[in-house]
Amino acid sequence: MALRLLTVCVMLGALSLWAQDVVPGEAVKPNNRVEVPDLPKIVAADNSAAEVAKAAVAIVLSAYGVTCERNSQVNSVIDDRTASSLRSLSGKVAGSTCEQEGRLLRLTSTFVPNASIHPDEVIHALDEDNPILIRWKGDLYVLWAALYDIQVYSDGHRFNVIRELLLIDPRYSDVRRFVSYKREKAAFTDIEGIAFVGVAEPEH
């Protein structure tokens, strides 16, 4: 798979992912699903924050056809302190390198805090087969799919309204691996944010 740089465009005045004050609109296309297929079953070596983070990052990078060697810099910069928040993890991953079959790849990472998450960014990334890191209730997950409605409002604007996020918990290999975050049952404030991790295009 060709290496590609995921460019995240932050829209001005963006609605939060679970905006509670949106005027109800007509669902012109309900129950849409977007997902990243065929992600490998990479499981954390143990339940420490560092190992869970390394596994989560490895799952995301696998979508780019990248498997970092064990001695890669990205693995050395992830420790329990770094992995204690998604913001700090994203900051460490950004600019770090990954060795793969003699190639040195530079990684990118963009952290988006809770209040700035826009559904279009999430849907676009998943549609491009790019999974996303997400921290919810203090635990790190890989966001690999979303269920959403396309709604139109009285002023003519159209919005994507996400109803459910499908997550991978890297700590487990059994049925506990797959977690569902539903808008109707979960508090959006429990999400610290999301991070878009990718691989920079090689310089020519």
Q: Is residue 64 part of a domain?
A: yes
Between CA 127 and CA 163 the distance in angstroms is 16
Residue 156 lies in a domain: yes
Residue 33 lies in a domain: no
What is the mean predicted confidence (pLDDT) over 39-60?
98
Of the candidates 87, 61, 90, 76, the residue with the CA atom closest to the CA atom of residue 200: 61
Residues 96 and 184 sit within 8 Å (Cβ to Cβ): no
The residue-averaged pLDDT of 146-157 equals 88
Euclidean distance between CA atoms 3 and 169, whole angstroms = 25
pTM of the model: 0.86
Q: 161-188, pLDDT tens digit by residue?
A: 999 999 999 999 999 999 999 988 999 9
Query: Domain tally for the chain?
Result: 1
Reference 74, options 95, 103, 56, 102; nearest CA is 95
What is the predicted pLDDT for the residue at 156? 79
The torsion angles phi and psi of 175, rounded to 5 degrees, stand at: -65, -20
pLDDT higher than 80, residue 73 = yes
pLDDT, one tens digit per residue, over 19-30 is 434 456 676 889
**Residue 157 lies in domain:** 42-199
Residue 20 included in any domain: no
**What are the CA-CA distances from residue 146 to residues 37, 42, 119, 123, 131 (Å)?**
12, 21, 10, 7, 11
